[in-house]
Amino acid sequence: MENWLKTVNIRLLREEDLPELEWGGEYKRYRRIYREIYRNSQKGLSIPLIAETAAEGIVGQVFLSQKEPNLNYGIRTRYYFLSSFRVRAEFRDHGVGSLLLQECEKQARLHRIRDIYLNCERTNNRARWFYQEHGFKVVRIDEGTWTYVNDEGFVVTEPENAYLMKKTLSWILFK
Ligand SMILES: CC(C)(COP(=O)(O)OP(=O)(O)OC[C@H]1O[C@@H](n2cnc3c(N)ncnc32)[C@H](O)[C@@H]1OP(=O)(O)O)[C@@H](O)C(=O)NCCC(=O)NCCS
């Protein structure tokens, strides 16, 4: 493990972190989503995790949102949906993403939620390999669109062409 990696701290998102999640404007359009995730975390409905170093500040993030069973999808228990997973480019491939994922699984166990789902763009081979290395499996292809309200209050519809991936945590580690 590299020295700087030992100094990476994984913690919950704070309100004052919100501007930094926009990465200097690149993700400004998701401002309202980030705020909603933060608010949901205050109600116990989401777990937004931040990776930071003392020298560099926020270097990565991942959000877990708690979802109720969805019989349309054949999902019978509560589950977490993982989203907005990213590590700043210059910090990738050193283990930060793995640390964030480990903490997600720890949180899921703490909350006795066994299944974690996520969408991975079909063109994002690197991320798919990463998830598969960490035990996620492709469940099906999700094609269509998704809609959100951007920072200016406009409804934006973006195409989606993703693999729905799932990891079921083992029962043994729940004891
Ligand atoms: C996907 C993503 C979050 C992974 O984060 P990361 O910090 O690069 O993840 P890690 O460093 O833990 O693992 C990446 C690779 O680095 C390697 N690695 C891990 N620790 C390492 C270390 N100490 N030294 C060298 N390599 C290491 C691992 O072998 C791993 O390979 P694998 O993918 O075959 O498992 C990151 O690549 C990213 O932000 N990508 C762009 C955004 C994105 O695509 N997000 C996913 C949306 S679905």
Q: What is the pLDDT of residues 141-160, one digit of tens each?
A: 999 999 999 999 999 999 99
Residue 173 — pLDDT band, cuts 50, 70, 90? low
- Domains of the chain and CATH, by start: 3-174 (3.40.630.30)
Which of 73 and 99 is assigned the larger pLDDT? 99
What average pLDDT does this structure show over 116-131? 97
- Find the range with the poorest average confidence among 48-52, 62-66, 75-79: 75-79
How close is the Cα of 65 to the center of ligand 1, in Å?
22
Most ligand 1 atoms within 8 A of CB, residue of 1, 4, 23, 94 to mutate: 94
Pocket of ligand 1 (CB under 6 A): 1-2, 85-87, 92-98, 120, 124, 127, 129-130, 133
Q: Which atom of ligand 1 is nearest to the CA of 126?
A: 33
Q: C-alpha angle with apex 6: 27 to 12, nearest 5 degrees?
A: 45
Residues pairing with 67 in the sheet = 79
How close is the Cα of 148 to the center of ligand 1, in Å?
27
| Contact criterion met (CB below 8 Å) for 171 and 159 | no
| The predicted structure's pLDDT at residue 172 | 67
Q: What is the dihedral of CA 23, 26, 29, 30, to 10 degrees?
A: -40
d(CA 11, CA 48): 8
**Tokens representing 155?**
């409804």
Flag whether the pTM goes above 0.85: yes
